[in-house]
Amino acid sequence: MNFLTNQLNYIKKLSSVMVLISLITAGGWIIYLYDISKEPQSIDKQLIVEGENALNMGHYNEAQKIFEDELNANPKNQSSEWGLKIAQLRQAITQPDFKETIDELYLQDPNDAYLNLFLGEYFVAQEQPDKALPYFQQAIIQNPKLAEAHNALALFYEKLGDYETAKVESLEAIDTSPSAVPRYRNNLGNIYFKQNHFEEAVKEYGKNKEYPASFIAA
């Protein structure tokens, strides 16, 4: 009887020790994972975010340089490779082979918001607004925070004389841009000006140090 009792006590103690070890191990992993989550993003991820922010605001030259720098460091980074293609494509929108190039990329990813935005801009330049509008709308469906798409739609509706819708899209461009973009506020000022809302227009122009005499030009 004593033997069985001793064995049971030994098993209980062993079980307690195993449970304690398991708890310590689990706690260690939790602390490790927490520490990992608190660590800053790696340089490559930061550069990709910076590049995407530059694309969002229409700073295509800046985006191209960021993605090129990242690819020099990490040649197999597919996100940077695609971002570079997008940045270079927009800068070639006036080139004769633009439509052929964008059609090829569109076959690879028809759900890319930038490709739809660029196609919208292309058809506006070709004076085909009926073809342009669906692409603008699709770009915003795919990325509601794409500031350049909202700004393009603002300009689109402004050209059609639909100032109220243009104003809504212009405000969306301002709200969704990663940082203040002077030309978005300048466009909004132009819309107010054309509505004869001169006080609001002057306020918007006044927020832009880059456009100190915008209201005169409008």
3 state DSSP class of 174: helix
Q: What is the pLDDT along the chain (218 residues), one digit of tens a residue?
A: 555 455 555 555 555 545 444 544 444 444 444 444 444 445 557 877 898 999 999 999 999 999 999 999 999 999 999 999 999 999 999 999 999 999 999 999 999 999 999 999 999 999 999 999 999 999 999 999 999 999 999 999 999 999 999 999 999 999 999 887 899 999 999 999 999 999 999 999 988 776 554 444 43
Q: Which residues contact 214 (CB under 8 A, 6 or more apart)?
A: 186, 189, 190, 205, 208
Retrieve residue 138's tokens.
């699709």
pTM: 0.75
